[in-house]
Amino acid sequence: MGDLRPDNGGVPPEEGGAHAHGLPDLPPEWGTVVIPDDAAELEAEASALRREMRRQAWHNRARALVGLGPAGRRETPSLGVPIVIMAVAVITTLLSLFVVTWDHERSATAPAGPGAADPQTDIPLAEVTLADSAGSRVRLHDVLPAVLLLVDGCDCGTLVSAVAAEAPAPVTVVPVGKAAPCPVGTGKNVRCLADPAGSVTGRYPAPTPSAVAPTVPALTATGAVPTQAGQGSPSASPSPAPPPTATAVPVDANGNAHDPILVQSPDDLTDALSALAGG
């Protein structure tokens, strides 16, 4: 049907208005419309229209890939953007759970016990932190220069006291064991520290007693012990026990550890103590 503009008298076309026997007029904003006799003359306009349509189709496909509707639509907002946000959040959560689970499994499968690796074995000796008999944390750097006496498995209370009595004033004697070995009667220059993880003792082998075993006379064919001229029968006294032996590690004020020394008496540390005292 036509319209009710003034040019048709306000009468609908089907009731005898201006367009009762034809089409309604074109909108005035279109201007003058010229229809050529040859359609080929419209090729330029047709090419421009096809380019515009292709551009619009490509734009709509790109919007569809991200969940958006065609451009210019005023319908219900698309769910594409919320879906993309939710997908990113889910992927991030899964990655976080994977990292946490993997780290937990790696920690669970790490060796434990005396043979387990201790993180402090990878740092300089002076930076190792141990605990004293009261449970306070002590960094070895704070007691240098020092002689570390590794006394695990050794009844070295007398040896520790003797070394402490011979140590010069700047030198600290530091007995180290799985538990803080603090024998009675130690001097003020003694600092007993516990090393349950083997951060220090694990770096040095256990001491090997170097005491020479007493010579046992050979027996004769009859089982008797031969005697020398002018000597009576040998006494049946038992062999003396070897003296306690500890491993000493001199560490200077700069944190430089020297070669370990097997110690059975303070005389074994005379040179080391002099070197530490001299700086």
Q: Is the dihedral of CA 195, 199, 204, 206 positive or negative?
A: positive
The helix/strand/coil state of 256 is coil
Provide the β-strand partners of residue 173: 147, 190
Q: How confident is the model at residue 77 (pLDDT cuts 50, 70, 90)?
A: low
Q: pLDDT for 13-42, tens place per residue?
A: 555 555 555 667 778 887 777 777 777 777
Q: How confident is the model at residue 221 (pLDDT cuts 50, 70, 90)?
A: very low
- Indicate the domain borders of the chain: 125-207+243-277
Q: Residues 6 or more apart from 219 whose CB is under 8 A from it? A: 225
Whether pLDDT at 79 is above 80: no
In whole angstroms, what is the distance from residue 167 CA to residue 266 CA?
9
Cα-trace Rg, the chain: 50
**Per-residue pLDDT, 89:** 92
User: Which has more confidence, 109 or 167?
Assistant: 167
**Per-residue pLDDT, 206:** 62
Whether pLDDT at 173 is above 50: yes
CB 269 within 8 A of CB 166: yes
User: Which has more confidence, 16 or 44?
Assistant: 44
Whether pLDDT at 169 is above 80: yes
125-207+243-277 is classed in which CATH architecture? 3-Layer(aba) Sandwich (3.40)
- Token pair of 138, please? 């002590």
Q: pLDDT for 174-183, tens place per residue?
A: 999 888 887 5
- Among 231, 232, 237, 230, smallest CA distance to 216 is for 237
In whole angstroms, what is the distance from residue 261 CA to residue 279 CA?
19
Highest mean predicted confidence (pLDDT) among 65-69, 90-94, 107-111, 231-235: 90-94
Report in angstroms the alpha-carbon separations of 125 from 28, 116, 121, 263: 96, 18, 8, 20
Mean pLDDT in the chain?
75
Count CB-CB contacts under 10 A for residue 151. Answer: 26
Report in angstroms the alpha-carbon separations of 164 from 110, 134, 146, 187, 235: 40, 21, 11, 6, 38
